Structure 1
Amino acid sequence: MKIRRTRWYRSLTLRLLLVFWALLSVTAASGYLLAIWNKPKAELSPLKPEIYQTLQPLLSDALTFHSLQPGRLIAGDYRVAAQLSNTGSEKLLMDELLRIKHGSTLLRMLGQEQPQQIPLDERLLMGPFELNGNKILVTRPLGPAEYVDKEKLEQESMQARALTVIIGSGVLAILLGIWLIRPIRRMILGMREVAKGSAKPDLKRLPKRGDEVGELARALSQTALDLAKSRDAQRRLLSDVSHELRSPMARMQVALDLTETDAHEDDPNWQQLRRDTERLSVIIERILSLSRLENGLIELNKESLDSGELVQQLINDMCYQKPEVEERLVKLGDAWPEIETDAELFRLVLENIVRNALHYTESTVELSCEVGRDNMCVIIRDHGPGVEESTLVKLFEPFYRGDPARHHKAGVGLGLALSQRTAVVLGGSLTAKNHPEGGLKVVLELPKR
C-alpha cells in the first residue's frame, strides 16, 4: 500500500513556523496592550492640610494672585503650573511641558471644587487654589516618602503586567503543546496495542491529518496491519503444523506401545525413541494450547473455589508422582481466600511454575499468598541462584530456555509462556523477579471475582 505524501502547504514545518510567529505576535501585542492597560494611574486625593497651610498665606493677596504666571516660583520649591483667569484675552495658561504631557490632568484638576493633589512624574500637582474667580495649580518635587509610594505603585503595576503576560504566554504554550503532543500520544497508545500482540489493534485512535504527523500515523497504521497479518499467519502456520503432526504422533505412540516387549526395557535406543516421541507429543500439545489461548478459543468455566485447598491438592499430586520432592514443596500461611475463577486454568498456571522451579533448582519451593481488596497474589519462590536481570524479560517468551548447559534435560520452553497467556485469560498477570535474599520469585495476580 502506497503511503500518501504530505503536500508542502500542509507541512508541519510550515504550520509550526506560522504558529510560533502567531505566538510571538500575540505575546508582543498582549505585552503592549497590557502595558497601556496596566500603566499606573495616579488618583486624585484631598490636599494635605500642611500644604494648604503653607500656601494659603501666599495666595490670599489679590494683587499677588493675579500676577502669578505658569513657571513662576512662589516659595521654596513651589511653582505655578497653570492659571485660569476670568478676565483678559488669554484665560487659560499652562506650563508648556506639563501641557504637552499632562494637559488633560491639568484641566481635570482645574475643574475640582476643592484643592486636590496628584503625583505627576517626579512632581506633585496641587490645586486648584481660587481667589475672586481665578484659579491656579501649583507643583513641587516629590518628597522622599511620596517618591517611595510612587515607586511602590509602579513596581506593583509592573509585576501585575509581567504576571499577566507570563500566564497568557503559558496558556498559549500549553495549547500549542497539546496540539503537538496529543496526536503523538495517540500513536503511542496505538503502537502499545501492537506491541502487546493484539490480533486486532484499535487503529481508529491514530490521528487523521494532512501533515507529517498524519503521514507518520498512516505509516504506523500500515506497519501495524502488516505485523498483525504476519503474526496471525505465523500463529496459524504453527497451529496447523502442530495439528497435522498430532495424528501421526499419536499413531507412533500407539505403534510403540503395541510393539514394545520385555526385551525393549533394557534397549537404550528404544527408550530414547520413546522419550523423544513423548517429548514431541508434549511440544505439540502445548503449541496447540498456546495457539488456542492467543486466539481466544478457550472459554472460561468460572466456579467458586478455595485457593488454599487447590494449592494443597496440587502439592499432594506432585508429591505422589515424585515422592522425592515432598520435602522441597512448602505451602506457607493459612489465609488463602476463596476466589471465583477457572479451576483447571488456575491449576495449570501454578503447576507449570512449580514444576519449572523444581526442575531448575535443588532448593525448597515455597508457595504463599497475599490478599488485597479485590485481588490475590500467589507467590512461588525458590531459593536457587536466581536469574540474570537481562534474561528476566525473556522468561515468558515461547521456546526460551535460560540455561544452555541444561538444554538436553530441560523442558520445551513453552511452560512459562503458556502460564502467562493463561493468567491474562483469567484476568490477571504473571511476573517474575529475583528475590532480595536470593532465588526467583514468580507472582501470579488474579482477581477474586
Structure 2
Amino acid sequence: MRVTVNFLSAKIFILFWCVFGLLLLTVYFVPQLDTRLYMDLTSQDINKYQQDIITAVRTQQFSRLLEMPENPIEEKLDFPRPVLMDSERNIIGARDNEINYIRDFMYHSNDVLHPQSKAFRSLLIAGPFSIHLTNQDQQVEYFAYFVTHVDPQKIIVNYIFDHPWFLIMLLMLVSTPILVWLSYSLTQPIKRLQRAANAVALGDFRVNKELEDTGVVELRQVGASFNQMIQSLVDVIDTRQYMMSVVSHELRTPLTRLQLAAGLIRRKMGDSKELERIEMETSRLNQMMNDLLLISAAKMESSLYRKCVSLSQICENVLDDAVFEAKELKIEMRIKQEIKSPEKYFLYGNLESLSSTLENLIRNALKYTKSIVEVSFVLRGGQVFIMIDDNGEGLSESEYKHIFKPFYRVDEERTQVKKGLGLGLTIVYSTVKSHQGEVWAEKSYLGGLRIVMKLPFWRD
C-alpha cells in the first residue's frame, strides 16, 4: 500500500527524524576525536615518555616507589607521574581514586609495542613501557605507566560522551513533547479550515470566527480570507434570490393582466380556440415561474437548514408512503436494504430536501412503470447508492444525459401520456449536487429506467 507523507504533521516528524539521524551520526563520529578514547601514541609522544623514564631512573623515582609502595600524598601535578605494575599485576604508586582507572587502562592496553593513552575524567594515563629494575638484588621486569592530571571538562559533558545513549534518550525526551506541541498547533487550525471548507462544499455558508481567532498568524489570515469568501458567496446567493423574487413579481403583474383580459374577451366574444390557447400558454408560463422559484427556494432552504441526519430518517417516511401508494396503484414495490444498521450512517444536509428528492424519484418511477418498482440501498466506499428501477418503457441511451436539464421533455409515449414541464428531475439534480452527490440515469435490469443517486456520508 502506498504511504503518503503529504501531511504537515508527517513532514514535521520526518524532518525531525532526519535531523535526529544526523545527530546520531554526530554522536558516534565526534567522540572519535575525544582524547578519552584509547589513542595510539605518536613517535613524538613515545620519545617524550622515554625521556620521562630516563629522568625517573636518574632521580630514583622508580626506586622510591619500590621502597615505599604505599599510596603517595594526594597532590595534583601537571607533569607525568610514573606508576608501576609487576608480573603479578600489582599496582605500585597509584592513589586510591586512580586505581580503578589504571586497572581499566591496563586491561585494555597491555602491549609495550603499541603504547596508548586515554583520559579518565581529569586523569590522562599513558603506557605501557617495559623497564627492568633491581629489586632485592634481582633484575625484575615492570610495566611503567604515566599518570598526568589534566584540566577536567564539565561533569555532565563527560557523562554524555561516556554514555551516548543517554544523550539520545535526553534529546528524545526533550524534543518529542516540543514537536508534538508544534505539530498540534499547526495541524489543528488546518483541520478546522478543512472542516469549514467541507461544510461550504456541502452548502453550509456559516462564517466560522474560530478560524480567525486561533492558530498561528498566517493561518489566522487564511481563516479571515476564507470567511470573507463565504460572506461573498452568501451575498451572491442573497442577490440572486432577491433578483428572482423581483423578476417573479414583475412578470406576474402582466400575466395577471393578460388573464383578466382573456376573461373580458370571453365575456364579450365567447369561447374560441385562440382564447383557449392564450389561457393555456399563460397558465404554463405561470407554472414555469412557480417551479423556477421553487428550485431557487429549495436551494436556499437546503443551504440554510442543514444538519447531520441518518439514512434511516431520510428513508423511513418516504418508503412507507411509497409502499402505500404502490399498493393503491396495484404496483409491486420492492425494497432492498443492503446496508446494515442504516441509522448509524449520517449525511450532512437538509432532511426535507433529501426526503423530497427520494420521494420524487420513486413517484416518477410509479408514474411510468408497468407493474414493478424496486428501491435499493447499497454502501460502497463511504458513499450510499440509492437506485430506483422500474419495468416501464424506458428511454433510449441518448436521452439519459438530457433528462435532468430544465424544461427538457422526451418526445416519446412515456412523456406524451404524462404531461409536465420538465422540471421535476431538474430539482432532483440540483438538490443532489448541492449535497455533493451525483445522480444519473441508466438502463434497468427490469427493462425500464434506473435512476442512481450517490451521496457521501458525513465525516467529521
TM-score, normalised to structure 2's length? 0.45
